[in-house]
Structures are given as structure tokens and as C-alpha cells.
Structure 1
Amino acid sequence: MGQQVRGVVARAKGAPVTIETITVPDPGPGEAVVKVQACGVCHTDLHYREGGINDEFPFLLGHEAAGVVESVGEGVTEVAPGDFVILNWRAVCGQCRACLRGRPQYCFDTHNARQKMTLDDGTELSPALGIGAFAEKTLVAAGQCTKVDPEASPAAAGLLGCGVMAGLGAALNTGGAGRGDSVAVIGCGGVGNAAVVGARLAGAARIIAVDIDDKKLATARSLGATHTVNSRTTDPVEAVRELTGGFGADLVIDAVGRPETYEQAFYARDLAGTVVLVGVPTPEMRLDLPLLDVFGRGGSLKSSWYGDCLPSRDFPMLIDLYRQGRLDLDAFVSETIPLEDVEKAFERMHHGDVLRSVVVF
């Protein structure tokens, strides 16, 4: 039968979002309805609105969310009504070649709810990253719900659903940052600053934050960066080398995702060092590097998908660190806003004024 709630919809490319009445179906087999408590405003939502992901309009935006399971469908055993959960876009299948090889964090067949949420006229909605959480309630696959400590703040916990997890995981999982390492992070928005925090959690001895905005660099320092470099006025490659004894960093994380920043990351690493790309490029971008330099410098060139996280493993552990005061997720919540202010939050995000605006219901 379903129920009707309010949600934020992008109807057309580049058009301002609108508040619409959304019909949320009752959960079918393997599905869950979640009452959303908080949802972060992520760059990915803006990419959806701008048509940068695909053209399957209209979109129900929002995906960085936490809330309480309201009801579940047949066969659901991993969560139950009343559970406090973080929503994720990596509901692993358990059957693909990655899962069967014991690497579910790379699952190639993640799944979403089979039923569609709709506008009140019956138009089917495409939920952002299969979640659609700028809504009072949303329908997801039960595997997209990760149960965590209910004492955690929903506004902070929900950020693990995308950007903060991407940055933390780029350092901890993909990059394998370790005790005593030198780590450079290029781009200090929400994802980049989360990578700074991840490097600190790993025990890195030297954490170098690189950006063109002194405000973002100040935030990076407050979150654990030991050094900062403004690449608008200073060559970041030379600066990173100077700060690492002339060698370059053990790990360099590109949280921007442009050819220029990737090249900086490539040359700012030590011999046999690691580059991790976690910033998302656009389709037209191309990279030109001398193949001899790729060979001669050795090491690893990696891409980080969702911080190579496994939500069932990583979310509860990170929430425990948050509850212990060892991971300051609250620092990423720049402001809390009502559902009606999502469009304004996109504008603030575009100008770099916030790490995260968070819709709180």
C-alpha cells in the first residue's frame, strides 16, 4: 500500500531542486523502509542534479544518511524494526567473483531495492546511489542498512555513508597508511580532510595537507595535519619533497580528481610510494605521463572506490571510535539545515564554505 512523505527531487538537468510528495512502497522481499533522521549534502548529489552521473531524471537526491528501520520485507534477517542504521551504497551480493574470492569490499554486483519510489502521479524516481535519503522515509535493500551504536549522533554517523568514509578509507584501506609514514593529501574538502583524519588514526608521523584555500588548510591542521601547503602560491611537489627530506611522501592521496592534481600526486611521492585517487574525475579528463616515469618510480597507483570499505566491518568500528572520542565526526558537520534548504546548501558547498551541511529531520 505504501505511504507518502516529503522528498527533494531533481526533475531536470541544472534545474533547482524541489520538495515533492513521494510515495514509498511497503518493503518487499529483501527490502527495508528507513525513517531518515539525518542526511549529508554531498557533491555527488549536486553531480546528479547537474546530469553528471546519468540522465535518468527525475532523481530523489540524498544518500549520506542515518536513521531507524521502520519495517522490513520477507526474508530480511540482518536488521529489524527499531535498529539504528547508517545507509550504504555497497550492499554486497556474496556471489560475484570478488565476493567469492573473499574480497566483498570490491563487490561487482551490489544491489538496491527492486521496487521504485514514485512521485504522486506515479512517475518512477531514480534514487541517488540507490538510496534517495533527502526524504522523511526511504526504501532500500536491507543490505544497504548497517546497524551501529544507537547512541551516535545521526548527523555525524550518516556522513560515514559516503564522503567521510571515502576519505578515511583512502588512507586506511586503499593507501594502507601506517605508523611513522609520511602522507600528503591534495584537496582538503570533506573527503580530503577525512583522509587527513585517517592518516592520523593510522599513526602517520607527517601529514601534509595541500589546497589553494587557507580556510580549508586551517581546518586540515585542526584535524591532524602537521604541515600545510597553499598550492596557489607554492609548488606542491617541491614543498612535499622539502618536508620529507627531499624524497617525497610514502603515500599521496588525490582528493580532487583532476589531471593536474594527479600529476602532482605522482611526482610528490617517494620512490616505491603509493598514489591513491579518490577524487572523482569527469569523463573528458585525460592523463599524460611518461611511461618511463611510471616504470622508474615503482610503487603503486591505486583508485579508491568508497574508501574500499566493507560497511558491515568498517561502520561499527568507526562509530565505536567516534563514541570513544578518538574520531571527531562532529567536526565534519558544518551546519544542520531543514529539508527546504538543500538548494542553498548546494550553493554554499560550491563556494567551499562548508565541509558538510546536514539535513536533520
Structure 2
Amino acid sequence: MKMKAVVMTEIGAPLRIEEVELAEPKANEVLVKIEATGVCHSDLNALHDETTPIPTILGHEGSGIVVEVGPNVKNVKIGDKVALSWVPFCGTCEFCQTGQVNLCESAFGPMFEGTLLDGTTRLSLNGEKVYHNSLLSTFAEYTVVPEMSCVKLPDEMPFAQASLIGCGVATGYGAAVKAAKVTPGSTVAIFGIGGVGVNAIQGARIAGASKIIACDLKEQNLEIAKTFGATHTVNVGEGNVVEMLKELTGGFGVHFAIDCSGNTNAASTAWQATRKGGTTVVVGAFNPKRELTLPANGFHRVGKNLKGSFYGDVHPFLDFPIIAELYLDGKFKLDELVLSRIQLEDINKAFDSFHNQCCVNVGRTVIEFGGK
């Protein structure tokens, strides 16, 4: 079938609207009509990443309607409303068998190669191969994805809000609820109040934390953090952050610190601000050229846990529906994360906004295709 899609044709160049050919789904694949897709900073990173295969269709935060399924598909049917997960899992490896589906290796080779799970693509332009992004490629009217990328959501769930669940929302929520395992009455510090950090705040609130401290350089972000559940804020550019956090927690430090910033200095600060016996979770992606440095003195005596978390340790088929139900029950803010709604033709304006330091970055621009 022919469809309209946004195609990346050069590293860092403006994206182009093209008429692309999409092949039908194979046995374990699903054809989804995209109704909404978020524009994530990771898409900008992919646009400027020299390892991104070209040409490719970007986009990895999507929701839509199932319109065709392969003969082996069992989890969804035609007409289902779905949110898409960019980490499909095999269900049979050691990680999957122990419930750590976010660590399944099946998706990563194809993800880096720009293919689907079988090593081939379903996309072409003028007879030439076009690559997939994160096995989803949601900047298009339709997409073919693995069955294990399709998570059924309630019919009442609006598409724009549903599209955001598959990346930043699930990662932040999971970092607090699944990775850190925040407990009722505990104290939590969140470093980096962006699209992930604000949802870590929501996760900590839902888990029952008594004190949630938002830590960031931007006063605007700190004010926004309060509307999502932060009880206190700390501007990390205005003093000794560790001492400020200890002062807010009776001199002990926080029970849980979650670094969503991707900054190694912030992660080190988060560790130092965590009390004895507490847990520090790092969910932000570091620059691979940087090193994380922690104080060695007395390391063995403090009994603290340091944990890296990929995708917030979520299980998409369990946690996406929970987040959707929390939203529908008025307990999880998603409306406020939809910063603006645009058409596919305005995609480059959304990318340009990432370079504007004055723009609010606690949320997403969402591309809509006409659904509700």
C-alpha cells in the first residue's frame, strides 16, 4: 500500500514528506493505522546520529488502530486501539522467563540495523529500501510492527495521550514504581525534570511517597514539577545539592534518588544524596565518552543500592494498561503532557523547537492524523 510518511534522507537535514510503499505484515506482525505520535528528543538524536541508516522513517511514540494482522498474531485483533512499544520481546529467553522483558536482546540487533525482527524491512521508496526506526517508524500514516509491540488499551483512551505512554511516560513511571520500588511514606529526589522526570514524579506520588523533591536547573521546570506532585524543589545551580537534600530529610538523605538527566555529575550527586540503605536509580542515558565517578571512601559501609534501569523496568503488556487506567481514573496526568498538536507536514517545526531554550520541554508535541 502507498502512504504518506516523513523520510530522513540525510544526517541532520530537514525531513521530507514522501509517498512511501508499505508491504503487508508477515506472520507475527501487525499493520497499524497511526492516529497520533509524539515527537521525542530521541528522534532529534537519531536525526543527527551518523549510525542511523538512511533513508529511514523516524518516530517511536505512537498509538493507533489495528487494521490487519498476520496469521500467527494472538494478542490483538482488527479494530483494537493500541499503544506501541519500541522494545518488543521474545518471551522465551532467560530474561523474559524471569520477568525482565525490558532486557530481552531480540530487538536490539534489528533496531540498530533499521529492520524488523526478521532482519528485513516493509518500507520502500521508488523501489529502494527504506529503514525502520526503533521497529516502529510512527512518523507515517501506517506502520507494520511486531505483534509484541502492540499493547491493547481501553477504547476510552484518547490517541494523543495514548501515544505518549510508550516511551517517556512509561520510563519515568517505571523508574519510580518498578525500578526504585518507591515505598509509601518515603522521601524521593528526582533529578532532571523533563519528559521522563516529570513522570517519575507521578510514579513516586502514586507509590505513596511523602516527600518528592524535584531537582533541576530551570525554574520553569521546577514550577511545572509541583503541578505533577513534587512537594519540594531544589535548583541544582544554587548551592550544595547534597546538603540541601539532607536538610529536607532530617539530615539523612532521601530514601530513593532517580536520575533522569543523563548527566554523570547529576547521577553522582543523586548517589551522595541517598541515605544509608537507600536506592539510587539511573534511567537517563549517559554520553558513552563520560565516566560515572562515586566516592570510594566507606562505600561498603553505607549499604546503598545503585541500579541502572532501561525502559523503567516496565513490562509493556502489564504496565501500559495500568497507566491508561490511572489516567482514565484521574490519577495520572497526561493531558498536560500534550504541549501542542500538529499535522505531519509541520514535523520540521517540531524538531526546530528542540533548539529553542525557552520552549517548555516537559511534554511532547504530538502529530495527529485525524482520530480522537
User: What interval of TM-score do these two structures reach, taking the shorter chain for normalisation?
Assistant: over 0.9
Kept in 2, the 8 Å contact 1:169–1:195? The answer is: yes
SS in 1 for 2:43: helix
C-alpha distance in 2 between matches for 1:292 and 1:96: 39
SS in 2 for 1:188: coil
The code of the aligned residue for 2:47 comes to R
TM normalised by structure 2 equals 0.92
SS in 2 for 1:108: coil
Decide which of 338, 350, 360 is 1:353's aligned counterpart.
360
Kept in 2, the 8 Å contact 1:85–1:146? The answer is: yes
Kept in 2, the 8 Å contact 1:90–1:310? The answer is: no
Q: How does 1:226-305 map to 2 (within 5 A)?
A: 226-305=231-310
1:98 aligns with 2:95: yes
Match of 1:73 in 2: 70
Size of the aligned set, in residue pairs, is 358
Match of 1:49 in 2: 47
Kept in 2, the 8 Å contact 1:4–1:22? The answer is: yes
C-alpha distance in 2 between matches for 1:348 and 1:238: 35
The code of the aligned residue for 1:43 comes to H
Unmatched 5+ stretches in structure 1 = none
SS in 1 for 2:341: strand
C-alpha distance in 2 between matches for 1:57 and 1:297: 49
| CA deviation string 1:249-275 (max 9, x = no partner) | 111111111111111111111111111
Decide which of 213, 222, 235 is 1:208's aligned counterpart.
213
The code of the aligned residue for 2:365 comes to S
Distance 1:13 1:294, change over 3 A: farther
- Once structures 1 and 2 are overlaid, which stretch shifts more, 190-199 or 86-95? 86-95
Kept in 2, the 8 Å contact 1:22–1:117? The answer is: no
Unmatched 5+ stretches in structure 2 = 111-115
Match of 1:178 in 2: 183
TM normalised by structure 1 equals 0.95
1:17 aligns with 2:15: yes
C-alpha distance in 1 between matches for 2:71 and 2:337: 37
Decide which of 324, 334, 341 is 2:339's aligned counterpart.
334
C-alpha distance in 2 between matches for 1:103 and 1:308: 7
**Deviation for aligned residue 1:293:** 4.6
Kept in 2, the 8 Å contact 1:88–1:311? The answer is: yes
**Deviation for aligned residue 1:286:** 1.2
Q: Root-mean-square deviation (CA), in Å?
A: 1.6
Distance 1:48 1:294, change over 3 A: farther
- Give the share of equivalent positions with the same residue, in percent: 39
SS in 2 for 1:162: helix
**Deviation for aligned residue 1:195:** 0.4
C-alpha distance in 1 between matches for 2:343 and 2:300: 51
Kept in 2, the 8 Å contact 1:21–1:119? The answer is: no
Q: How does 1:7-156 map to 2 (within 5 A)?
A: 7-51=5-49, 54-110=51-107, 112-114=116-118, 115-156=120-161
| CA deviation string 1:85-127 (max 9, x = no partner) | 0000222211111123343343232474544133422332332
